[in-house]
Structure 1
Amino acid sequence: MLTRTKAVLWNEGARRIRLPWRLGLWLALLVLLGLLATAALGVLWGRSIEPLLALFTPGRPGDQTIVAARNLLFVSSQLFVMVGSVYLAGRFLDRRWFRDFGFRLDRNWWIDLGFGLGLGAVLMTGVFAFELLAGWITVRELFFIARADFAFWPWFGWGFVTFLAVGVYEELVFRGYLITNLAEGFTWFDRVDRTAAVGIATVLTSAVFGVAHAGNPNATLASTLGIVLAAVTLAAGYVLTGELAIPIGLHATWNFFQGTVYGFPVSGTNNGVSLVAIEQSGPSLVTGGAFGPEAGLVGIGAIGIGLALTVLWVRWRTDEVRFDPSLVTPELRHR
């Protein structure tokens, strides 16, 4: 009985806990780090942050400085929770190197990042141009910021920093960590080969990504489906290269150009600053309405084009299109 129980919990060949329990412990670690980050923000939030800011700014810090500091703390806490949980779980539970979750930062990695950044910008520019020509967009003003007492350009730049951070930690968690672990785990089944394992992991994590956005403001069944399809496109850049460069770049600039440049809602939310402020009309089924382009046919079309261009890019760069074998054959850390 003891031997059988140990076999359920422990993989003797890899000398580590089996996948379901590793994922459960990672989730517990994610919650713990989230609680720690929330507690830390609670200490620093509100007026208690002003004495700290006074050390770096002359006189009493203004509203803009306080809001900027709060935003910086929030984004930093999100990075700490997401990246920290994956690093710790990868090191001590999975026995993987952190670089194997998509961060082998060689020359090719940076080239692929540049492609991803450019792809997201081009796709969202295409969405904006299509809807503008169709008469569904009216440009209301330029250099819009919700609070007139705030400077435009610093907050415009902060929009890019924020969406880049979101791209890093969401891609690390949903693509780098979950796809890698699930793909490896499914190969335990004799009837599941490596290609099928990566495919199943991609579909499952994309569904989870869609459900994770289903609680956003103005979310609908159509928006959830659109987010699932977007997740498949993001995953393609990872599973075909073994690196997160393409999906991080695509994720960051898709959101940045969507919200901070062209003034669309970003997954149902608005950050209060955009290069172009718009009024949108047209059928929500096509435009996505209050949720943003991912919920409409135009956005879904752009997502499909992004998937095709990602595959073509990988083929041009490597002369082949296949799932990266490192996803299912990890280089485990030595004990």
Structure 2
Amino acid sequence: MLAVTIPTLVGIATGWYAVSTTFTTNSMALWTGLAVIVMAYLCTGFWEELVFRGVLMSNAAEGIRGWFSRRNVIIVVLILQAVIFGVIHVDQWTTQAPHPTFVVTWILGGFMYGLLYLLGNDLALPIGVHAAINTAEAGLFSQTAPAEGGIPVIVLIEPISQSILAGHGGILMMSRTVLAAILGILWLWYIREGSLDLWTHSAMRVSDSTS
């Protein structure tokens, strides 16, 4: 959540975001609503990471491993799943984002989650990071006003414009994912005492001599 909080506070401090209201609860109690958000986005994070990182990446690697070296397989698969992840979120930039180019934000998100999956060698970290970002954007700092009787929001913010900087899917939103990935990589580096390897994920193994 720190990765969402820092760019958002920067946006508020610089005037790119305006605080519309705080503690918008409607008919649902605040903590009940936040618990619902956490559970919902844990489920979302779990299935999206399982499908896009766990299933898609391993199956894509299996399919192309006869064509590329081990490292190139990983690079191709990492980019491929990120693009598919971004395209699958097409509804985000047709209903909320003002410019189709903002799909880059979701492609970058897929790339970062894939990177965490490869470096961490399992789905735990990308699931946690994905769920935390979504939870913070929905319940902590939200740009979407809750519907009547809907999920509460702690801080409701409004961008000063739907520009490439502050608008939905813009640079400030993109920076949250980048910061989350950096923090995740630093955490992995710390717990593994500086030992990180992008090329040895068990699901990406390719038997060749041109690694």
Q: TM-score, normalising length from structure 2?
A: 0.84
Task: Render the CA deviation track for 1:53-93: whole Å, top value 9, x for unaligned.
Answer: xxxxxxxxxxxxxxxxxxxxxxxxxxxxxxxxxxxxxxxxx
User: What's the counterpart of residue 218 of structure 1?
Assistant: 96
Query: Structure 2 counterpart of 1:317, which letter?
Result: I
RCO (CA 8 Å, sep 6+): is it higher in 1 or 2? 2
Which of 27, 40, 48 aligns to 1:170? It is 48
User: What's the counterpart of residue 180 of structure 1?
Assistant: 58
> Once the 2 structures are TM-superposed, how far is the Cα of residue 316 of structure 1 from its aligned partner?
3.0
CA distance in 2, matches of 1:230, 1:214: 14
Greater helix share, structure number: 1
CA distance in 2, matches of 1:184, 1:207: 18
User: What's the counterpart of residue 117 of structure 2?
Assistant: 238
2:11 maps to 1:135 = no
> Once the 2 structures are TM-superposed, how far is the Cα of residue 282 of structure 1 from its aligned partner?
4.1
* Cα 1:325–1:151 shift into 2, 3 Å: closer
Query: Structure 2 counterpart of 1:253, which letter?
Result: A
* Cα 1:173–1:314 shift into 2, 3 Å: same
User: What's the counterpart of residue 84 of structure 2?
Assistant: 208
Any unmatched runs of 5+ in structure 1?
A: 1-120, 331-335
1:211–1:224 contact (8 Å) kept in structure 2: yes
> Once the 2 structures are TM-superposed, how far is the Cα of residue 263 of structure 1 from its aligned partner?
1.6
2:138–2:153 contact (8 Å) kept in structure 1: yes
Select the structure of larger CA radius of gyration.
1
Query: Structure 2 counterpart of 1:128, which letter?
Result: T
Q: TM-score, normalising length from structure 1?
A: 0.55
Percentage identity across aligned positions?
A: 25
Any unmatched runs of 5+ in structure 2?
A: 207-211
2:18–2:158 contact (8 Å) kept in structure 1: yes
2:28–2:151 contact (8 Å) kept in structure 1: no
> Once the 2 structures are TM-superposed, how far is the Cα of residue 246 of structure 1 from its aligned partner?
1.0
User: What's the counterpart of residue 7 of structure 1?
Assistant: none
DSSP-derived class of the 1:150 partner? coil
1:236–1:310 contact (8 Å) kept in structure 2: no
DSSP-derived class of the 2:91 partner? coil
CA distance in 2, matches of 1:135, 1:196: 43
Q: CA RMSD in A?
A: 2.3
Query: Structure 2 counterpart of 1:223, which letter?
Result: F
Number of aligned pairs? 199
CA distance in 1, matches of 2:96, 2:19: 22
User: What's the counterpart of residue 189 of structure 2?
Assistant: 315
> Once the 2 structures are TM-superposed, how far is the Cα of residue 265 of structure 1 from its aligned partner?
4.2
Which of 178, 184, 202 aligns to 1:304? It is 178
Aligned pairs for 1:288-299 (under 5 A) are 289=167, 292=168, 295-299=169-173
* Cα 1:157–1:282 shift into 2, 3 Å: same
> Once the 2 structures are TM-superposed, how far is the Cα of residue 185 of structure 1 from its aligned partner?
2.2
1:222–1:296 contact (8 Å) kept in structure 2: no
> Once the 2 structures are TM-superposed, how far is the Cα of residue 261 of structure 1 from its aligned partner?
0.9
